[in-house]
Each structure stands twice: as structure tokens, then as C-alpha cells.
């Protein structure tokens, strides 16, 4: 921790767990033809909005790891929408790209269709 002006700041190390899974999922969900800085800027915006430090001085910079799946989904949708807005991906069939809400909902469905849900068999000891 870092102490500054009477506030304890917990330093976070951002690594691949917060940004890359959501960027990859969003790119795959919309079939983006390019991945450029604009998509990573969008990803950074989503992570920044989820930062506990925005509401509480000294709070961690990054959201709790328990929220990573929810954050990755939100990030993937934002990245997918941004790729479409930039012309790097086509909008989903039947969706007007000018209708932001419909576009976000369609991209969210595409993201959800690609999310892996771990299912483990119940094992019984012999």
C-alpha cells in the first residue's frame, strides 16, 4: 500500500485477466476484421468505469476478481459495438447500427452465445 495525504492506496497490477478476455470475446462475437487501439481504449474505459477508486479514495483501482466474468461480458459488448461503429465489423443481421440499444442487445446476444460455461460432472468416490 501507498500512504498519501492520509489515504491508504492499494496498488493494483492490471494484467491479462481484465482486458484481453473481454476484447477477444467481443472481437470474436462480431467477427471484427481489425483490432486496433480504439478497441483497447474502449476496453480501458469499461474497466475504468468499474473501478472502485472512482467512488472511494484509497479503494482498489481494479474491481474485485470475483467480478471478472461480469466485467468481461460488459467489456466484450462495448468492444463489439465499437468495432461495428468503426466499420471493422458488420452489424448483426436485421439490426440498424444507428439504433444503439438494439445494437447493444444484439451484440450482447452474440457475446452470450460464445461464452464458455464450465460444467463439471459430479463424481462419486467408489
pLDDT given at position 35: 96
**Measured distance CA(106)–CA(24) in Å, rounded:** 17
Other residues' Cβ atoms within 10 Å of the Cβ of residue 9: 16
> Mean pLDDT, consecutive 10-residue segments, the chain of 126 residues?
80 74 96 96 93 85 89 97 97 93 97 91 88
Please report, for the domain that includes residue 20, its CATH number. 3.40.50.720
Evaluate whether residue 13 is within a structural domain. yes
- Residue-number span of the structural domain to which 20 is assigned: 2-114
Q: Please report the pLDDT score of residue 75 as a whole number.
A: 96
- Residue 121 inside a domain? The answer is no
pLDDT at residue 105, as a whole number? 97
Residue 60 CA to residue 56 CA, distance in Å, equals 9
Question: How many domains, in total, are found in the chain?
Answer: 1
pLDDT of residue 56: 86
Task: Give the separation between CA 85 and CA 98, rounded to whole angstroms.
Answer: 9
Length reported for the chain? 126
pTM of the shown model: 0.82
Amino acid at each position: 500500500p501507498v500512504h498519501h495525504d492520509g489515504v491508504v492506496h492499494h496498488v493494483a497490477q492490471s494484467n491479462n485477466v481484465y482486458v484481453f478476455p473481454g476484447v477477444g470475446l467481443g472481437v470474436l462475437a462480431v467477427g471484427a476484421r481489425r483490432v486496433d487501439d480504439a478497441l483497447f481504449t474502449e476496453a480501458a474505459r469499461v474497466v475504468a468505469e468499474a473501478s472502485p477508486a472512482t467512488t472511494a479514495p484509497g479503494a482498489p483501482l481494479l474491481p474485485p476478481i470475483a467480478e471478472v466474468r461480469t466485467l468481461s461480458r460488459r467489456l466484450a459488448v462495448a468492444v463489439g459495438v465499437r468495432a461495428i461503429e468503426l466499420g471493422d465489423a458488420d452489424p448483426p443481421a436485421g439490426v440498424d447500427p444507428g439504433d444503439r440499444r438494439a445494437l447493444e442487445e444484439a451484440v450482447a446476444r452474440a457475446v452470450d452465445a460464445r461464452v464458455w460455461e464450465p460444467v463439471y460432472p459430479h463424481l462419486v468416490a467408489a
